[in-house]
A and B are shown apart, each in its own frame.
Chain A
Amino acid sequence: MSKNTLQDKLKASIQSPAATRPRTTRTAAAKTASESKPVEAVAPAPAPAAKPAKPAEPKKIYLNDDRVWPD
């Protein structure tokens, strides 16, 4: 990202983000070579596996605490 773009974005971010945050998603072609990283490098962490419907082991219930703590 060029220096100006960073500066512009910082400046815009001071205002109400909803009003000013650029909404356009740039196409891959618009990105500079240095920005075009492999998808793996910027991809968000994979979502955690879905929780099992039932825990495999019995839950421990602590006194005065309705949370269930793992071992």
Chain B
Amino acid sequence: MPSAKTFALANLKGGCGKSTLALNLAAGLAQRGSVALLDADPQGALQHWSQWAAGDVSAGMEVHAGSTVERLDELASRFDYVVVDCPPSVDMNITGRFLKRVDQALIPVLPSPLDLWASSSASQAIDKARGSNPGLKAWLLLNQVEDKSALSRAMSQVLGQMPLPILQSTVKRRAVFRLAMLEGKSVYQLGPRARDAVQEIESILQEVL
């Protein structure tokens, strides 16, 4: 019987920050308990990252690959938290399967009309999943916000009026999120230069936990 709190980073829109946020949220959760980061994306970005990271992956966090709910259930029976990095593709409906199983879905959205439009189909996917997972909580999460951009601000307002709720916390576009990948780390392991990035991830975790 799964006992973990389970999260899916999901959006069929590619490149919105699912993998980046999955890994950093998992690193934040690793400070609170044991975490399995499940790379369900055949692109294997997080597996690649964990191989590159070798021993540097946060203590208390393991990276696994797999795209079945059985794999999720198995991890959920052994860890306190499971974070699933879903693929952008609709092939095999991997994302749909996980949405039917997880406790919470976080849907990263970039501050761009293309991503706004795609968020409508994300909302439909959540509705569909709730047919068999009525307790599913789902949030939009604005990622790669640009402080000085009027469009970023407008997107934040407009997303606030979409059918899915939006997290108050947002994530800015920051080089440290990319640097952390390159260094085989999460932002939690980058020291003072990533302090603001860590604060953003912590703020998300405080909202969803």
Contact = CB atoms under 8 A, between A and B. Distances in A.
Interface string B93-123: 0000000000000000000010011001000
A65 B208 CA distance: 54
Contacts of A1: 150
B151 interface: yes
Q: How large is the interface on B (under 10, 10 to 19, 20 to 34, 35 or more residues)?
A: 10 to 19
Nearest to A11: B158
A13 B150 contact: no
Most B CB atoms within 10 A — which of A6, A7, A10?
A10
Contacts, number: 25
Contacts of A7: 154, 157-158
Nearest to B161: A11
Contacts of B153: 3
A11 B113 CA distance: 10
A14 B154 contact: no
Nearest to B155: A10
Contact of B117 (A3, A6, A14): A14
B154 A6 contact: yes
Interface in B139-192: 150-151, 153-155, 157-158, 161
A7 B157 CA distance: 7
B120 A3 contact: no
Contacts of A13: 113, 116-117
B116 to A, nearest CB: 6
B123 to A, nearest CB: 11
Nearest to B156: A7
Given A11-B158, A11-B161, A14-B120, A6 B113 contact: no
B119 to A, nearest CB: 9
Interface of A: 1, 3, 6-7, 10-11, 13-14
Interface of B: 113, 116-117, 120, 150-151, 153-155, 157-158, 161
